[in-house]
Each structure stands twice: as structure tokens, then as C-alpha cells.
Amino acid sequence: MFVFRNAWKSVIRNKGRNILIIVIVTIIAAAATIGLSIRQAAATARTSGLENTTVTAQISLDRSKLISESRQQTTTDSDSSESSGADGKPDFDAMRSALADKQLSLADYQKYAKSSSAVKSTYYTETTGLSATDDFQPVSDSDNSSESSGTDNSKGSSNVSDSTDASGKQNGQSDAPPDGKMSDSGGMSDRDGGTMVSGDFSLVGFSSDEAVSNASNGSFTMVDGKVFGYGSSSDDDVIISKSLADFNDLSVGDTITVSDANDSDTTYKLTIVGIYKNSTDSSQQMGGPMRSTASDPANAIYTSVSTLKSLGLDADADSDSAAQLSYTYVCSSKSDYETFAKDVKKAGLSSDYTVSSADVENYESSLVPLNNLSKFALTLLIVVLSVGAVVLVVITLLNVRERKYEIGVLTAIGVNKVKVAAQFTLELLIVTMIGLAVGAGVGAAVSVPVSNQLLASQVEQQQSQQSSQREQFGRDMAKPGDSNDSKNGSDSGDGSTTAGENKGDDGTSQRRAQGGPGMMGRAVDYVSSVNATVDLKVVGQLLLVGLGLTLVATLVAVVFVLRYEPLQILADRS
């Protein structure tokens, strides 16, 4: 009680010095509160952002691994043989052999789906190319496209394009192998779910309504007729875009004739049961040497996988025109996705394949500005605490030196040095706690707007970098239809997407980096707003910060108090 009473009297008596300490601690506490809140918000976004969100997963061939192993084997063989690899060129035949016969079949995908209870549902699409006939032409605004159409083009179009194989998700979640390499079925895949096929049209077969709802062209609305069925009774039923129907003067009930992309003598008759209009309908095509009418979303013909099987064009068909398969596993959360990745390995999935999720990749990409801000907050926290500790140590040192005579008197009359040191510690602790309380209140009031303002600047910087990249590398490349345009953003009439914000389930807001023309224009929904509120966890961390600062500062007082000799102090004073 003696120590506490003297400490309180000292706090009241030395108002000026203690107010200065309170102000300093308040500034430190407010900065620490903001930094701790930002870091906690970032950690929460990282851990819980995908916990209550559907996550899609894909199994894709790890071609980089196989090519690397093939090159290593070739190098080993060349070392043991003087004549082998003498020209120093890559052994293309060996690499092709390493990649051959690695495609997974539909039965394989289904087997792995059954091997894990973490799989909520599955869907898949099969995509192949078809060529135009004299009576049915693709929508085109160029002479080159018209020249390549018709029966001449059906002999094997050399154009390669992005088809709308419906393997991407409307909300920007791509179902194609996210490595941007070859798909398992042998066709080139991009990161947005497109699969490169030859021909004038892309014929996309869907396995279910879930697959249709996640079409890479985005959501669409039926303007006439109805969507096809998935049973054999609906074989040869298709739906086409309104643009394609208007271009060929077709309506529901009409029959169209298309030819095999690799054999002009093989034709297929399909019945139009519906006409749809894409919510993000766009006439943009893949530019440059990759240009093809099949890349235009307007030239996508939708049907069921049963139809492709009846035509002999499904993924399991033994034909040059066999469809390219894109199989998607749907998990309820990120943890389920991670469980699925482990389960398929246990079920015998070879190390030649990888399990990946474009949803997880996109979400991690969206956290880049937030992670940068979290690092900045940590740096700010370290600097503020370091400077604050030094300032408090200096003030405490000056305080002890000014009260040197008081220390001498107290110890001379029999007060234990430990009690004197405890008094100084208690004084600083009282002042520090007052400063912490005020600083925590100020930090709680400004943490949300300040953190969001800082995060907005990080997002703007990231978007600026992407914009510079697009201008430098992707100016002339136009995407056939961004799968991100159909959800979580504002769709303009011409199919372009404007930057916007969307509220997430975890309290975060998403701001889309506009995916402009080009392969480098993949849109990312950046986390641009977080709920960096002060809760009990932050208060607890702040309390530890205050105790730490008090401990560091009082150590100086304790050292000096224990060093002083009372008789020497009194003698020096007299």
C-alpha cells in the first residue's frame, strides 16, 4: 500500500511529464492498434475467405515435370553414348513419347470423384470443333473468316481458337488446368477455361445444368425455345446464340448441317431447340495469328454430352475429332479441396498429375494487395514500438535522474530499494495503461477507414502494374469472352466489364482489376476493403505491447535505483 500510495501521489504531482508520456503512449497504441487490426484482418481473410465458398478443382497432367524428366533421361543417355544427341538439339521424339498416352478418361475422373467424400458434386464438358457448310455459316465480320468457312474449311481448318467449352466459372473461377498448358485431353487450354479447337464453330457438350450454369461465356438467357435435355431422347438437340440464328435466318425447330472439322465428307444434322443470348455477349475474337470464328462466343453451339457421344465425337471416341474433356470437381470449402487432393493421391493418382484449383489461385491473387499491406503494417508496428521504447527509456532515465535525491531519502530512512524500484515501475505502468486505453480508443475509431484507405492505394498500385503489363504485352490480343464478366461485376452493353466492388461473405470487399484485351488481361477480384475492427484479440495483443514497453522502460529505472547509494546521494546534495 505504501508503494501504491507514493506512486499515485507522484503521478498526480508530476502532471506535465506524465501527460507527455500519455501522449507518446497514445500515439504508439493507436499505431499499434491499426497495425494489429490490419494483420488480423489479413489473417482472417486468408484462412476463412474460402471456408464457406464453393471451390472447384481439376486434375491436370504435370507436363513440366514429364518434360524435365525426359530431358534428364536424354542427357544421361547422351553422356553414355557418343553418337546420341551430338547435334545438341532437344530430343523431341523422347519428350513426345513421355507425354503420350497420359490422358485421363472420363472413367478415371469419375473414379477419383468417388474416392473422396469431400467432393460435393461434379460436372464436365466436352468440346470439339465443327466446320461450316454452304447452308450454315459462322458469324464473322472479316473476309478472312468467310474465306475459311464452308466446305473448303471443313477439310481441316488450320485456325486454332479458344472455344467456349464451359469449363470456366461465371465468377471468374476457371475449370481448365490452371497451369495454362495442355489439357489432359490433348488440347491447348488457357487459364480462363478456353480450349483451343479447330473449325468454324465450337460444339460444347454439357453433362448437367450445373455445367451449363458455369459456362465460360458466362450466364445466358433463353430468348426462344428451351434448353436441351441430357438423355438419349434429346440427342442432336442444340441451342445456338441469337447472333448466329439471326446471321443464318434460323429459328427454333430448324435443322442445321455442319461438317467434321477434319473430314468435309462427314456431316452432322442438328436440331435447334432453343436460342440463347449471352449476358456478356461479345463479338471479340482471338486476335493476331490465332484468330478464328470458333473463338467468337456467338459461334458456340451448346448441346449435351449424350449428343456428342451419339455423333461419335465424345472424348472417348477413337477419332481425330474427339472432343476435349474438361472435368470439374466441386468442394464445399478450401479445406474440403485440400482433403480431396490428398484422397486422390491415396486412390492411386500418379505423381505425373497435379490437383489444382483456379478458385484458390484467384483468391490468393486477390489477396496480394492485402498481404502487401499486412507486411507494411508489420514494418510500421516494429518501427513504432522500437521508437516508442527508446523514447520511454529516455524519459524514464531523465525521470530517475531528476528524482535521485528522493531515491536517496527513501532508501536512507529504510525503504527497500526493491520497493523504490517497484514504485517507479508502478508509476510508469499507471501512465502507460492510461495512454493505452486512450490509444486503443483512437485506433479503434480510425482503424477501419485508415486500413481501407491504405489497402485501396495498394490495390490501385497493383492494378496500375497490370495495366502497364497489358499495354506493353497484350494490347493487340482480345479475349473471346471473359468468364469473370458474368458475375460480381458491372456488365456494359458491349460485353466489357467495368471495375466494381462486391461484398464478400467474410466482410471483405472485392474490387475487380479490369481484364482488358489480351491474355494478360485476366480479371482478378482484389480484396479492397476489410473489416479491421478492434476485438478482444487485438486488445489482448495491445495489452502485451503496453506491458512490454513498460518492462523495457522500467528496467532502466530498476538498474539505476539499485546502483544508487543513499549516503552518497545525500552527501552530494549537502
Q: How far apart are CA 417 and CA 566, in angstroms?
A: 10
Within 10 Å of residue 569's Cβ, how many Cβ atoms? 18
Q: How far apart are CA 357 and CA 174, in angstroms?
A: 8
Cell of 491: 456488365
pLDDT value at residue 303? 95
Contact predicate 37/451, CB 8 Å:
yes
Q: How far is CA 347 from the centre of its chain?
A: 28
- The pLDDT profile of the chain, 574 residues, written as one tens digit per residue, is 777 787 787 778 878 888 888 898 898 888 888 888 888 877 777 777 667 778 899 998 888 887 887 777 777 666 555 444 445 677 777 777 777 777 888 999 999 999 999 999 999 999 999 999 999 999 886 654 444 444 444 333 333 333 333 333 333 333 333 333 333 433 334 333 445 567 889 999 999 999 988 887 667 888 999 999 999 999 999 999 999 999 999 999 999 999 988 888 899 999 999 999 887 544 444 444 445 787 788 889 999 999 999 999 988 887 777 888 999 999 988 889 999 999 999 999 988 899 998 888 887 877 787 788 888 888 888 898 888 888 888 888 887 777 777 777 777 777 777 887 788 888 888 888 898 889 888 888 877 787 777 777 776 766 676 666 556 554 444 443 343 333 333 333 333 333 344 444 445 555 444 443 333 344 556 655 556 666 778 888 888 888 888 888 878 777 777 776 766 666 666 5
Contact predicate 372/458, CB 8 Å:
yes
Cell of 95: 519428350
Q: What's at 317, amino acid-wise?
A: A
Burial class from Cβ neighbours inside 10 Å (0-12, 13-18, 19+) for residue 32 reads buried
pLDDT value at residue 493? 36
Q: How far is CA 3 from the centre of its chain?
A: 57
The residues pairing with 122 across neighbouring beta strands, listed in sequence order, are: 329
Q: How far is CA 146 from the centre of its chain?
A: 40
3, 43, 172, 430 from 398: Cα distances, Å: 21, 41, 61, 18
Conformation bin of residue 157: beta by default, left when phi > 0, alpha when psi is -120 to 50: beta
Cell of 155: 477439310
Q: How far apart are CA 571 and CA 561, in angstroms?
A: 17
- Please state the length of the chain: 574
Contact predicate 328/57, CB 8 Å:
yes
Q: How far apart are CA 226 and CA 224, in angstroms?
A: 7
Contact predicate 190/167, CB 8 Å:
no
